[in-house]
Amino acid sequence: MKAVKRNIISTLEMNSPQGFEELVAGSHANEDVVEEALTELQRENRLAYHGRHDGYVTVEGDCAVCGQQVPNIECQRVTVSDGTDSDVASEEYVLHPHCRRVIFGSWE
Ligand SMILES: [Zn+2]
């Protein structure tokens, strides 16, 4: 199961979204095992079914603006540092393109 999950994640990181049939074909496991792996990965918040793209995608994290999952294919990253202390590590946030526009709209 662990190997199947790892395989699904690495497959989706290289090429997503992918539908259930594609993931079964690519994982060399039977449908029951793939379905169980997908269920576990969604519960662990590492993968989501993305209706708009009609397939499974990996999840990069929760959006800094709206709090919803950000699929890797839409992920925008913003690095924020306060600029006053170079020893303080800057923080990286993930967000959706539309949420990014809400904040940085006129900068693009
Ligand atoms: Zn968002």
Which residues have a Cβ under 8 Å from the Cβ of 18 and sit 6 or more positions away? 11, 12, 26, 55, 56
Beta strands in 12-80 (DSSP E): 47-50, 55-62, 69-71, 76-80
**Ligand 1 centroid to residue 69 C-alpha, Å:** 8
**Ligand 1 centroid to residue 58 C-alpha, Å:** 16
The environment of the single-atom ion ligand 1, i.e. residues with CB closer than 5 A, is: 63, 65-66, 96, 99
**Ligand 1 centroid to residue 75 C-alpha, Å:** 10
CA–CA distance, 71 with 59 (Å, rounded to integer): 5
Residue type, 6: R
**Ligand 1 centroid to residue 76 C-alpha, Å:** 10
The reported pLDDT for the residue numbered 36 is 97
- Report CA torsion sign: 78, 46, 12, 7: positive
The reported pLDDT for the residue numbered 99 is 94
Q: Which residues of the chain fall below pLDDT 70?
A: 85-88, 106-108
The reported pLDDT for the residue numbered 35 is 97
The reported pLDDT for the residue numbered 85 is 67
The reported pLDDT for the residue numbered 7 is 94
Of the candidates 89, 91, 65, 66, the one whose C-alpha atom is nearest the C-alpha of residue 79 is: 91
CB atoms within 10 A of CB 69: 21
Tens-place pLDDT, residues 85-95: 666 678 889 99
The reported pLDDT for the residue numbered 33 is 97
